[in-house]
């Protein structure tokens, strides 16, 4: 847990590179890697979406979201669409969804959505804090909601001009 906290603090302080990133390629590559590892991850491809940012940080952001979706909802579906100069990415699962009364708290460091202290059923509570930090460093927004089945994480990032 201490190494996670130190990594979180380091990531908060370090500014990453600012290059053009083909978001679709990044998401498809990450999903393929996770499928190769035995996770049930599917991609619904959208139009080509290029953003500016740190490719390693963006990969970490989406890895956190997809790993959470698989851990808590058995499978992950990721897709994206372009909208008014932004790309909206959604990550959905088939789990129990979010306690909407605690949504804002879930973005705080060390707050876990799963109440047990068992590391096998939950992490350190840094995943969504890291997600929000990376999204905000990329001038984006992230929200949590419940879908028809399971949880939905929706994030928006500005497209690169």
Per-residue pLDDT tens over the stretch 44-62? 999 999 999 999 899 999 9
pLDDT at 113 over 80: no
Contacts of residues 108-113 at CB distance under 8 Å and 24 or more positions apart, as own/partner, are 109/5, 109/8, 110/5, 113/72
pLDDT recorded at residue 110: 59
Please give the class, per CATH, of domain 2-158. Answer: alpha beta
Domain chopping of the chain, boundaries = 2-158
pLDDT band at 118; cut points 50, 70, 90: very low
Q: Which of 75, 91, 8, 86 is nearest to 47 (CA)?
A: 86
Q: What is the pTM of this model?
A: 0.82
């Amino acid at each position: 847990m201490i190494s996670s906290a130190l990594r979180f603090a380091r990531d908060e302080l370090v500014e990453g590179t600012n290059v053009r990133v083909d978001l679709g390629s990044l998401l498809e590559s990450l999903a393929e890697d996770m499928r190769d590892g035995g996770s049930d991850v599917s991609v619904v491809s959208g139009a080509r979406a290029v953003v500016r940012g740190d490719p390693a940080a963006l990969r970490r952001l989406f890895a956190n979201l997809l790993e959470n979706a698989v851990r808590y909802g058995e499978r992950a579906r990721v897709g994206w669409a372009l909208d008014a100069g932004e790309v909206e990415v959604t990550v959905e699962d088939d789990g129990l969804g979010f306690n909407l009364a605690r949504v804002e708290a879930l973005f705080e460091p060390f707050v876990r959505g799963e109440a047990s202290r068992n590391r096998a059923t939950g992490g350190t509570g840094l995943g969504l804090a890291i997600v929000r930090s990376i999204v905000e460093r990329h001038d984006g927004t992230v929200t949590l909601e419940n879908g028809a089945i399971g949880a939905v994480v929706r994030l928006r990032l500005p497209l690169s001009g």
